[in-house]
Amino acid sequence: QNILTVCFSVGYSAVALNHVIDFKEKKQEISKPVSPSELFPSLPIVQGTSKRIKVLTRLTLVVSDPSHCNLLRSTSANIRLYDIIAVFPKTEKLFHIACTTLDVDLVCINVTEKLPFYFRRPPVNMAIDRGIYFELLYTPAIKDSTMRRYTISNAISLMQICKGMVSSLSKNKPLELRGPYDVANLGLLFGLSEGEAKAAVSTNCRAAMLHGETRKSACGIVYTVKKPRKVEEEETAVPACKKAKTQV
């Protein structure tokens, strides 16, 4: 409840409850997500609007062996109940599998230590074509100077190939949360332009949510955007007789 209140106060309109499954621990099973209505009887209203803050459910799988990916390939009823599916690959082979074959919405990147592999362009481009986004956790950069150095270094190496999205993992500590504008400023340190840094905490997040809806429904998500009319199109739309009079 405290984290939700902080998210609301700093300007977020949607948050995700993260369920982490690490296959290193024994007897890890994917259970049904907890309904947000059970945890939060009343959700706060987003500032400046009449809508309440949106609470999503997210599943993050930490995979260290190719056999762990079989769970994502199977049609599990509990997996389909989550709004967002993320995978945390530990090796280069698993990173390649996550980008090319797994049906996920996010690929998480470890930024707290030196990566054991380099990002290669072919799997990253394939993930982008499939509508998958990459996630960098900025919280470690706030805690320690060494983690901050690794975070910036790993982020820059990834951003040289693609333009991913930045996310937060607070681990039940509201003080580690930062507002959208602060996260966008961190994106500048990661090698993003101003527009790309803003997209990392706005349109990219919305695209990941829509990708999750498409995965759950096995259909497509269509939303319309009003296209501004150009001056030339307005001139051609005027009848010839009226156009002649206006020219005179």
Q: pTM here?
A: 0.76
Q: What is the pLDDT of residues 203-246, one digit of tens each?
A: 888 888 888 888 777 655 566 677 777 655 555 555 555 555 44
C-alpha to C-alpha distance for 190 and 130, rounded to whole angstroms: 23
Strand partners, 54: 14
Q: What is the pLDDT of residues 180-199, one digit of tens each?
A: 888 888 778 777 888 888 88
Tokens read off for 216:
């759950």
Structural domains of the chain ordered from first start: 3-9+50-216 (3.20.20.140)
Q: What is the pLDDT of residues 12-67, one digit of tens each?
A: 888 888 888 887 766 667 788 888 777 777 776 666 666 777 888 898 888 888 77
H/E segment holding residue 148 = helix 145-159
77: pLDDT strictly greater than 80 = no
Q: Which residues contact 220 (CB under 8 A, 6 or more apart)?
A: 214
- Sign of the torsion formed by the C-alpha atoms of 181, 186, 187 and 191: positive
pLDDT confidence of 248, banded at 50, 70, 90? very low
